[in-house]
Amino acid sequence: MLISDICRAVVEEPLYSAGIILYRVGVSVAGVCNVKARRLAAGQRRIWRKLKASFTPGDKVFWIHAASLGEFEQGRPLIEMVRREHPEYKILLTFYSPSGYEVRKDWSGADCICYLPFDTPLRVSRFLRLAHPEIAVFVKYEIWRNYLHRLYRRHIPVYLMSAAFRPDQWFFRKESAWYGQWLRWFTRIFVQTEESRHLLERIGITQVDVAGDTRFDRVSEIRDDGREVPELERFARLCNPEQLPVMLAGSSWPQDEEIYAPWFNAHPDIPLIIAPHEFDAERIEGIRRRFSNGVVLLSEMECDPDAASGCQVLVMDCMGLLSSAYRYCEIAYVGGGFGAGIHNLNEAAVYGVPVIFGPNHTRFVEALDLAALGGGIAIAGREGFEHWMGLLVCNSEERLRRGRWAAEYISEKQGATERIYNSIFRQIRPSME
């Protein structure tokens, strides 16, 4: 072993753990005035009680960890397959973010749902002692040094699923390449693309399979489930007597509304459904001010079915309906592309509608693929949006063709869940028998 490797082994864990401890203290301090931080701190205190109440020493435990809601949706198909095929396992689901935990804390698909304890040696050891997982799965980007190292040392199979790597990540930079050594502790890494596999191969990580992205399986399940949202169906009929195409803007941010609001204000006959990324009172009021042809909330329609009369815009002021709501539109706009990055395009594309998104999409494989196929439409600003909306609204043949390309793309990408499941249980089967 090189001297540099020895030094790293000696100082890495203490320095890393000290950083996690400082972060934990920061969360407690921030909780005084920040709701999310306060929820995270409170949730951390309840972890041990929940684990003790959920598991006994003889239980077989399948543990899956997701950062937030999006990663949960990627992991959900695998959880449901394990629950169906191996009912002898109890399912432990952990979250890092309050935005994921608070929405799914009562989900019936897991036996225990809690936050992931902060990644310090004592907390990790206590967590593994109480949960005693036989299998651990981390979703996409969740790579925690102390958890990985202790799972590896305890010979507990640990997997990374639906992973996506880029050349600019710190695993592949010369000055921080030692981070890549953490990846050696995974039993298997399931990546979305060949490009990710090649990147890992360059740094000596070879326990890799190209399995695809389980999000394609999940959105197909949601589509087939056929969940109805009667308020959206009524809105599309009540406010659209001429049966013109409806656009749904999913995960919309104010920057997105700056792009598409002027066009809708100038075309009051085209219905618009908005699912804002956040919908507190201030955010809702901002949307009301931005649109001039009448705005109604979904919650208002739940109380009064005729509340949408005379309104062009419906705002979905709720969580958990977006992936089903796209079935009520003919054109989708997915937000985030004028900010930190686009949200889930697959949720819309699976319904066979053309999907418009902003310029900050190059980190997302599905965006590049959809744009190349024609099912996705990348725009740089307001002018591009107005051009494409004019074309898609007026030319039904063009709209249907592009929607068909989008749906075919989703269909061709299915199957990742089964590939990952088969690999995991094929590898552990000798120890199960």
Question: Which domain CATH number covers 85?
Answer: 3.40.50.11720
Residue-range definition of the domain harbouring residue 137:
27-212+415-432
User: In total, how many domains does the chain have?
Assistant: 2
CATH label of the domain that carries residue 370: 3.40.50.2000
Given a cut of 50, whether residue 431 has pLDDT beyond it is: no
Same-domain check for residues 423 and 392: no
Strand 295-297: give its sheet, edge to edge.
Answer: 295-297, 313-315, 272-276, 247-252, 331-334, 355-357, 376-378
Average pLDDT over residues 132-137: 98
Average pLDDT over residues 64-89: 95
Which pLDDT does position 9 carry in this prediction?
62
Range with the poorest average pLDDT among 232-241, 306-315, 397-406, 412-421: 232-241
How does the average pLDDT of the chain come out, rounded? 92
CA 398, CA 404: separation in Å to the nearest integer?
10
* 7 in any annotated domain: no
Residues 110 and 88 in one domain: yes
Residue 221 included in any domain: no
Same domain, 404 and 292: yes
Residues 346 and 230 in one domain: yes
- Residue 92, strand partner residues: 63, 112
Assess whether 427 and 406 both reside in one domain: no
What pLDDT, in 10s, does the model give residues 149-188? 999 999 999 999 999 998 988 888 877 777 888 999 999 9
Give residue 5's pLDDT band: very low, low, confident or very high (50, 70, 90).
Answer: low
Structure tokens at 350: 């699976």
Q: Is 230 exposed, middle or buried (0-12, 13-18, 19+ CB in 10 A)?
A: exposed
Give the pLDDT score at 242. 79
What dihedral angle (degrees, nearest 10) is formed by the CA atoms of 366, 372, 374, 380? 80
358-410 tens-digit pLDDT? 999 998 889 999 999 999 999 999 999 999 999 999 999 999 999 999 999 99
Domain membership of residue 19 (yes or no) is no
